Amino acid sequence: MKAHKPLVIGNWKLNPATLGKARKLFTEIRDRYGRRKSAINAVVAPPFPFISEIERLSPSRRIELAAQDVFFESTGAYTGEVSLPMLKSVGVSYVMVGHSERRARGETDEDVYRDVQVVLKNKTQVVICVGEKARDDHGNYFGVVEAQLRAALRDVKKTWLPNVIIAYEPIWAIGTGNTATPEDAREMKLFIAKILTDRFGRKEAKKVRIIYGGSVKKGNAAALLETGEVDGFLVGGASLRPADFVSILNTAVEYVKNSQAT
Ligand code: 13P
With CA atoms as reference, report the closest residue to 110 among 151, 141, 70, 81.
Answer: 151
- Looking at residue 176, its pLDDT comes to 95
32 φ/ψ angles, rounded to the nearest 5 degrees: -70, -35
- C-beta atoms surrounding 117 within 10 Å: 18
CA of 76 to the centre of ligand 1 (A): 32
CB 43 within 8 A of CB 65: yes
**What domains sit in the chain, N to C, each tagged with a CATH number?**
7-261 (3.20.20.70)
Residue among 215, 220, 224 whose CB has most ligand 1 atoms within 8 A, to mutate: 215
Please enumerate in sequence order all residues whose Cβ is within 8 A of that of 168, keeping only pairs 6 or more positions apart, or say none.
Answer: 130, 131, 145, 185, 188, 189, 192, 210, 211, 212, 213, 230
Please enumerate in sequence order all residues whose Cβ is within 8 A of that of 118, keeping only pairs 6 or more positions apart, or say none.
Answer: 70, 72, 73, 74, 84
Which atom, in ligand 1's list, is nearest to the CA of 235? Answer: 2
CB 168 within 8 A of CB 210: yes
- Looking at residue 1, its pLDDT comes to 45
Flag residues of the chain having pLDDT under 70. 1-2, 36-37, 262
- Looking at residue 37, its pLDDT comes to 63
- Looking at residue 38, its pLDDT comes to 81
Any residues with Cβ below 6 Å from ligand 1, and which? 11, 99, 169, 174-175, 213-216, 234-238
- Looking at residue 61, its pLDDT comes to 83
- Say whether 99 is catalytic: yes
Cα 221 to Cα 232: distance, rounded to the nearest angstrom: 9
Angle between helices 140-153 and 109-121 (to 10 degrees): 40
Residue among 171, 234, 245, 248 whose CB has most ligand 1 atoms within 8 A, to mutate: 234
Please enumerate in sequence order all residues whose Cβ is within 8 A of that of 13, keeping only pairs 6 or more positions apart, or say none.
Answer: 47, 68, 101, 236
- Looking at residue 255, its pLDDT comes to 95
